[in-house]
Amino acid sequence: MVAKRFFAPDEFENKAEVDEFYKMVAEKDLQPLWTQKGLMLGEPPIRDIPFHWRWSDIKKLSERSGELIPIDRGGDRRVLSLTNPGLGGLPYASTTLWGAIQYLGPREVAPAHRHSAAALRFVVEGSGVWTLVNGDPVAMEPGDLVLTPNWTWHEHHNPGDTPMMWFDALDLPLIRSVDALFYEDGPDLMVNRLVDAVSSSELEFGGGAGLVPFDMEDEQPNHSPLLAFRWKDTDRTLESLLSRRQDGYAALRFSDPTNGKDVMPTMRCSMHRVAAGSEISPRQTTGSSIWLTFAGSARVSVGESEFQLEHGDLFVVPSWASMALSANEQTDLFCVSDAPVLEALGLMRQRKL
């Protein structure tokens, strides 16, 4: 094959004419393709980098934010966002995903709003907070996954005496990149609700084991109508999956109980259990992901980086970066990725290394 060449302007014999032409092109806000060198590379040019945040740091700073910053000064949410150093200061964990830790103090309320970015919570520590999703009260306890899909009203209440911290993930960077971000402040607070109520989403769709209502007259939403996935179910499923595996690694995908699709159109959620001394073998995939160490301790390598993980630690795997993990003790990890978007666009590539 003949190597492709890029002509520098001074390689032309008629350099003056070519220079003049380039000037005229630029004046009309146009650019030649043939002068652009980095446009098509063999593999994706990745901007976000493999990175690791320690729970011990986040926890200390979140608690301090609880002392210093009233909830109404923090844009309604007291959130420290994972800031990937590769993204030029943007408050994004990866190219497509926002990741953060949210802190809600005793008797605090984070008021209602909605946005066209979808969000989810995975509870790390604490107890007693509940989130209203379109008015449906959803309790939040450690290990629970709670969804607030695109354009649903949501507000968080902590009626208890202890603070609570949880992981937030949003598809916000993706939604901003396609200029489709809308936002609206909420109606008056829906206080005085039953705190111990079971959400209607769970009453209708939480039967488990493939049991869904037969007569679904309402138009199907494009997200899971079940808004909470409880830790006791996740834990039990991981345990039985692991007992059937020879390699000490079990993983499950959270799905819409009515159709098996991902819980929301832009984000895939999964939970991983690695037995002591076992591994997630090296692999790579297009699309980025944020991982949260819910329990245990492990060593993970992402691209060229290696991180030691303890309870609550978070790390990011950029698109097409290799990832492998080895567990010191039994380790549980929550993972959120943009995989449904890549699949929908025909851009998913995966391989074991």
Cβ 87 to ligand 1HN shortest distance, Å: 15
Cβ 183 to ligand 1HN shortest distance, Å: 8
Spatial separation of the C-alpha atoms in residues 227 and 12, rounded to whole Å: 63
Q: Which is nearer to ligand 1HN, 168 or 313 (CB)?
A: 168
Cβ 153 to ligand 1HN shortest distance, Å: 10
Which one of the spans 61-69, 164-172, 194-202, 317-325 is the region binding ligand 1HN (CB under 6 A)? 164-172
Which one of the spans 167-175, 246-254, 287-295, 313-321 is the region binding ligand 1HN (CB under 6 A)? 167-175
Cβ 292 to ligand 1HN shortest distance, Å: 15
Cβ 267 to ligand 1HN shortest distance, Å: 14
168 binds ligand 1HN, rule: CB under 6 A: yes
Q: Which is nearer to ligand 1HN, 83 or 328 (CB)?
A: 83
119 binds ligand 1HN, rule: CB under 6 A: yes
Cβ 119 to ligand 1HN shortest distance, Å: 6
Q: Using H for helix, E for strand and C for coil, what is the string for the chain?
A: CCCCCCCCHHHCCCHHHHHHHHHHHHHCCCCCHHHCCCCCCCCCCCCCCCEEECHHHHHHHHHHHHHHCCHHHCCCCCEEECCCHHHCCCCCCCCCCEEEEEEECCCCEEEEEEECCCEEEEEEECCCEEEEECCEEEEECCCCEEEECCCCCEEEECCCCCCEEEEEEECHHHHHHCCCCCEEECCCCCCCCCCCCCCHHHHHHCCCCCCCCCCCCCCCCCCCCCCEECHHHHHHHHHHHHHCCCCCEEEEECECCCCCCECCCCCEEEEEEECCCCEEEEEEECCCEEEEEEECCEEEEECCEEEEECCCCEEEECCCCEEEEEECCCEEEEEEECHHHHHHCCCCCEEEC
Q: Which is nearer to ligand 1HN, 129 or 342 (CB)?
A: 129
Cβ 272 to ligand 1HN shortest distance, Å: 24
Q: Interaction with ligand 1HN in 141-160: which residues (CB under 6 A)? A: 154
Q: Which is nearer to ligand 1HN, 176 or 311 (CB)?
A: 176
Closest CA to 101 of 73, 64, 50, 136: 64
Which one of the spans 168-176, 292-300, 322-330, 342-350 is the region binding ligand 1HN (CB under 6 A)? 168-176
172 binds ligand 1HN, rule: CB under 6 A: yes
Evaluate whether 248 touches 293 at the Cβ level (below 8 Å): no
170 binds ligand 1HN, rule: CB under 6 A: yes
Q: Which is nearer to ligand 1HN, 166 or 307 (CB)?
A: 166
Spatial separation of the C-alpha atoms in residues 181 and 20, rounded to whole Å: 41
Site string for ligand 1HN, 285-324 (x = CB under 6 A): ----------------------------------------
Q: What are the φ and ψ backbone dihedral angles of 233, each rounded to 5 degrees? A: -75, -45
Q: Interaction with ligand 1HN in 60-99: which residues (CB under 6 A)? A: 77, 79, 98
Residue 72: both structure tokens together: 């109404």
Q: Which is nearer to ligand 1HN, 154 or 157 (CB)?
A: 154
Q: Which residues of the chain form contacts with ligand 1HN (CB under 6 A)?
A: 77, 79, 98, 100, 102, 115, 119, 154, 168, 170, 172
